[in-house]
Amino acid sequence: MDIDSGRSNLKIWFILIWLMINCTNALIPRALINKTKNIIPDYYIKELRPPTSRGRPIEVDFSMRVMDINSINVEDMDFRMDMFLKQEWVDARIKIPEELFEYGDDSITLPSQFFDNLWQPDLYFLNSKVVEIATLTHKFSSVTLYKNKTIKYAARMHAIVACQMEFQHYPMDTQLCPISIESFSYNNEKMNLKWSSTGVTVSPELKLLQYNILPIDLQEKNVYTGEKNGNFSRLVVNFRFERQIGHHLIQTFAPSTLVVVLSWFSFWLGLDAIPGRMTLLVTCLLTLVTMFTGLRSDIPAVAYIKALDLWMAGCMISVFAALAEFVIVKVLNAKYQTRKTKDKTIAMETAIAPWSGNTTKHSFSVPKQNFLKLYWKTKKGKEKVLWREIDRYSRIIFPALFFIFCGLYWTILLIGTTPVLI
């Protein structure tokens, strides 16, 4: 019996402690509610915008702090952002009791639930796909009230923003991705948006793998919106993402250049090494095709020509031209051997004709000359063969043309991708 009574007493003590904790927690929000209830008068209507002098548009200051840019997705043409947003405006209807302010403070920060009872600027991102307030155990947002009746709303937000990307200069492209902020229902006669003194800032710890963030450009506009049939105040922040060329120099330009240079070694291989020369050129061509096929999968298929396509075409044309040169040289060598055999036969017949008594006209006829001289002799009596001369000059012409192409390509590309601020 003593054991049972002890257990019952222990249960009673647990129940009493639980009741005391819950009653204490319940009293805190009630006290806060009673104090904050005086802030919003009975005549306050949160659906109506705050009154202004002479009916002027209410001014809303907007600022943004970019904490992170998760990814720039070229397939979906969008990018993800984590940011702090702040909005400030004056609402003369609120009344803040002095007892709410601590000594020396001119503001008080309240939970985000209090913001639901106030008038709110209905701002939105025009080109956003998804915008949501960050949460862990609760929403990361707050509202701050100042003695001069200024209201500041701050929130940590995630957003997926659409960006119309252009790839003409890929892989040295600079993507311009604007974000436009506008009121959904209040035109510029009712609401005027302005960038605050801080504007848009980027966290110094933010680093992207393939891009550099260029200086940000801020704009304030009044734009006619046909969907809402009116002129609206609009804020625009232009993000510029410059692609880093280092990755493509190592993975694309340097290997493809080495493959092209490797194809030039075939000009030093004689026609007695036909299998080796043919294998070298075909391998170089197939390597370039495989390399550029893998690179094209990194960006969406577009209808226009990109800078990488021009580089790919230049490298493949150079290797294909070396392969075509080998075919031409092989054909010329076959004709040279045939002509050389005929010339030797004619020379032998000419030499033995006086001794054999066969001096017919047809026996001493010289074959017709081809359009191209397959071989000739210099003034010093040295024999020159056409296909060997083509190989010799190719050792100079092919590298010279490729280096000219590289010079023009990089000059035009660097000039054409120089960032220009709007």
Q: The domain spanning residue 303 has which CATH number?
A: 1.20.58.390
Average pLDDT along the chain: 81
Instruction: For residue 257, give its domain range.
Output: 247-416
Report CA torsion sign: 213, 215, 218, 219: negative
Q: Is the domain of 198 the same as that of 318?
A: no
Domain boundary among 218, 244, 270: 244
Q: Is the domain of 279 the same as that of 389?
A: yes
Q: Is the domain of 217 the same as that of 75?
A: yes
CA-CA distance, 177 to 238, in Å (whole number)? 6
Q: Is the domain of 195 the same as that of 268?
A: no
Q: Which residues contact 203 (CB under 8 A, 6 or more apart)?
A: 65, 66, 67, 68
Candidate from 16-30, 141-155, 188-202, 393-407 with smallest mean pLDDT = 16-30
CA-CA distance, 212 to 233, in Å (whole number)? 30
Average pLDDT estimate for 226-243: 91
Does 343 score more than 60 pLDDT?
yes
Q: Is the domain of 284 the same as that of 364?
A: yes
Q: Is the domain of 313 the same as that of 238?
A: no
List the Cα angle 260/262/265 in 5-degree steps.
120
390 occurs within a structural domain? yes
Domain boundary among 210, 244, 278: 244
**Pairing state between β 191-202 and 383-385:** unpaired
Residues 383, 377: contact at Cβ < 8 Å? yes
Does 28 score more than 80 pLDDT?
no
Q: Is the domain of 175 the same as that of 295?
A: no
What does the pLDDT look like over 82-104, one tens digit per residue? 999 999 999 988 888 877 777 77
Q: Is the domain of 266 the same as that of 179?
A: no
Q: Is the domain of 70 the same as that of 208?
A: yes
Does 171 score more than 90 pLDDT?
no
Q: Write the CA distances from 110 to 89, 156, 185, 216, integer angstroms.
A: 16, 16, 27, 32
Domain boundary among 244, 259, 283: 244
42 occurs within a structural domain? no
28 occurs within a structural domain? no
Q: Is the domain of 129 the same as that of 235?
A: yes
Does 281 score more than 50 pLDDT?
yes
109 occurs within a structural domain? yes
Tell me how many domains the chain contains: 2
Q: Is the domain of 255 the same as that of 235?
A: no
Question: Which of the pair, 404 or 43, is modelled with greater confidence?
Answer: 404
Q: How much is the pTM?
A: 0.74
48 occurs within a structural domain? no
